Structure 1
């Protein structure tokens, strides 16, 4: 049971860090959701938004973050 608690705490810490990063990016005027590469399709009554550029950026940042964590755990 203690391993489950440890995993939940780690997930919580990661979410807090991600929230802080998003908050700080907003403070500096960088909004995640209006980046180059984000696709928007608008018709009369329908708007479809696919954040491709934002998804790629978040994927790269998370990959680097997890790589750093694994590097320091060794």
Structure 2
């Protein structure tokens, strides 16, 4: 459990440090992501982004489990 928390902390730290470059990736603006804006209300449903990230995570986990 300790190793998992340390690894998770390192991943979060790296994500925070790399955020200026990661935010320029096309994730969140893929076809299939739904965005509603009415007045002061904004709703964003990243359906396509979630599917792509799920597929990538599944492939990585399958490769690591071998």
Higher strand share: 2
Larger Rg: 1
* Uncovered stretches (5+) of structure 2, i.e. residues with no partner: none
How many residues matched?
61
Higher helix share: 1
Identify if the C-alpha distance between structure 1 residues 39 and 45 changes in structure 2 by more than 3 Å, giving closer, same or farther. same
TM-score, L = length of structure 2: 0.68
Q: Which aligned runs of 4 or more in structure 1 are off by greater than 3 angstroms?
A: 9-13, 23-26
TM-score, L = length of structure 1: 0.62
Compute the displacement of 1:55 (Å).
0.7
* Uncovered stretches (5+) of structure 1, i.e. residues with no partner: none
Q: CA RMSD in A?
A: 2.5
